[in-house]
A and B are shown apart, each in its own frame.
Chain A
């Protein structure tokens, strides 16, 4: 299957973007743009319903309509699309995971990212500026080099840099005069960032053009089942809707939603935080991550430094997180990049991430016929958005997993087939 298939947009109400259309609107004061997607009333029934209007849910709806030609599809979002972790994350994209199953899944996503703006006719601002992962101890170096070798054996790019090479790649990096000096770094050049909102909006617009109903302010409150146990539809704050197929893509709230159908998941939900600085001129060329002293950082196109902090120690649904967590990340950033010490922070926030025991996702059928789940992405699912959405749509449409997501079952915890990225990396983003 080609990753860069371009779909035609039959719905003429949507204006395709082109250099010419941007120029014309620019010269006429940006007037005359129409809404990029409809805001329809929910119908009584759909062929498939996706619960959760993040990138993963909107993407799944798009691929259900475009690749699997499902007649009618709706995305139900309790708030606004992209208002969950999609719009709260630090947008790091990479595929240098340790195990073959993970590398295949995340690299499937990177390959789709590479053509996504073209596919969707929407600029998701995917920028392959490189992701540098620092090593600060002998243990770090051994783990990183193991990753580099495993990735190269699996056909995924990753290379080892000396401290001097790392500093040449990222000049602001302080490699010497710190408590945990930089001893080397792994670099994935195909990694980078994308614009989070644009991913949600791009999928929403393209899905809508193919007839998908995107219904915001519509919280699912129950999952209705037939006498034989299979899915009959959902209860929502905007009334009941029937569907034979329901896909759950609710991130931090996946356990809450799946309990509505009596399915218990091996998930715990934690707040994860990020913060941005005041905008400055372009000074930071790539993405840098340090798992050991825990900080990760990049610069947005607006000029803000985008800084990722850690999760709280305890489970929570508050979308906040403790201030000492982000403070700790800032200490690490100031140590690694002394030139940022005088910067002021503009905003900090949290999102609720759903963490599995092995830190790998679940993209699978469930014990309830017609009910599918894509969850457990924890602290690192933005990078997977197109890939996860693509194989999740396949799973829903065919009632069987795509070969890429076949290992990511719910039963792997019972059967002992963990994909233990938790043991492989202290942090995963």
Chain B
């Protein structure tokens, strides 16, 4: 049970910043789905392709590659693979790395 004014910061997710190590979630800002590249030639896209780039996200139920920024720490962006059914962080990795394979996922 928690009292109205008795909550503490310890009760939060711990996220492994690739540069600083494990830190509490409120130090971080979520940056949405990872690995979405801005189209090189926007003018050549169809309306639907541009819509997909702007608005469509995978909204994955399961392992999700996503961006985070350690805003109140080193300030750097990195990527994470998190299972959205458990909020368990499977891995964190640098922006220039490709996502590690989720457990159980077969090589394509």
Q: Within the complex, what minimum Cβ distance (angstroms) separates B1 from chain A?
A: 6
A314 adjacent to B30 (CB under 8 Å): yes
B12 adjacent to A323 (CB under 8 Å): yes
Query: Main SS of the interface on chain B?
Result: loop
| Cα(A333)–Cα(B7), bound, Å | 14
- Residues in B with CB closer than 8 Å to A323 are 2, 7, 11-12
Interface membership of A72, Cβ < 8 A: no
A to B contact number (C-beta, < 8 Å): 90
B86 adjacent to A318 (CB under 8 Å): yes
B7 adjacent to A264 (CB under 8 Å): no
A315-B3 contact, Cβ under 8 Å, with A322-B12, A414-B47: no
A334-B5 contact, Cβ under 8 Å, with A313-B30, A315-B59, A324-B12: yes
B55 adjacent to A266 (CB under 8 Å): yes
- Residues in A with CB closer than 8 Å to B47 are 414-415
Task: Pick the contact of A314: B11, B54, B82, B85 (CB < 8 A).
Answer: B82
Query: Main SS of the interface on chain A?
Result: mixed
Interface membership of B29, Cβ < 8 A: yes
Chain A residue at minimal CB-CB distance from B29 = A313
User: What 1/0 mask marks residues of chain A from 168 to 208 whose CB sits below 8 Å from any chain B CB?
Assistant: 00000000000000000000000000000000000000000
Q: Which of A267, A317, A322, A334 has the most CB of B within 10 A?
A: A317
- Residues in B with CB closer than 8 Å to A267 are 57, 59
Task: Pick the contact of A324: B3, B25, B29, B61 (CB < 8 A).
Answer: B25
B4 adjacent to A340 (CB under 8 Å): yes
Interface membership of B56, Cβ < 8 A: yes
Interface membership of A345, Cβ < 8 A: yes
Q: Which of B12, B55, B66 has the most CB of A within 10 A?
A: B55
- Residues in A with CB closer than 8 Å to B56 are 264-266
Residues of B58-97 whose CB lies within 8 A of A: 59-61, 64, 66, 82, 84-87
Chain A residue at minimal CB-CB distance from B80 = A314
Interface membership of B48, Cβ < 8 A: yes
| Cα(A357)–Cα(B54), bound, Å | 9
Interface membership of A409, Cβ < 8 A: no
Interface membership of B51, Cβ < 8 A: yes
Interface membership of A342, Cβ < 8 A: yes
A318 adjacent to B2 (CB under 8 Å): no
Chain A residue at minimal CB-CB distance from B85 = A317
| Cα(A170)–Cα(B74), bound, Å | 45
User: What 1/0 mask marks residues of chain B from 1 to 44 whose CB sits below 8 Å from any chain A CB?
Assistant: 11111010101110000000000011011101000000000000
A330-B29 contact, Cβ under 8 Å, with A255-B59, A266-B56, A314-B66: no
Q: Within the complex, what minimum Cβ distance (angstroms) separates B71 from chain A?
A: 11
Closest 9 CB pairs of A and B: A327-B7, A266-B55, A323-B11, A313-B30, A255-B59, A414-B51, A314-B30, A413-B55, A316-B84
30 sampled A-B residue pairs with Cβ under 8 A: A256-B59, A264-B56, A265-B56, A266-B51, A266-B56, A266-B57, A313-B25, A313-B28, A314-B66, A314-B87, A317-B61, A317-B85, A322-B12, A322-B25, A323-B2, A323-B12, A324-B12, A334-B4, A334-B5, A341-B4, A341-B5, A342-B3, A342-B4, A344-B1, A345-B3, A345-B4, A357-B55, A413-B55, A414-B51, A415-B47
Give me the interface of A with B, judged by CB distance under 8 Å.
253, 255-256, 264-269, 277, 313-318, 320, 322-324, 326-327, 330-331, 333-334, 340-346, 348, 357, 413-415
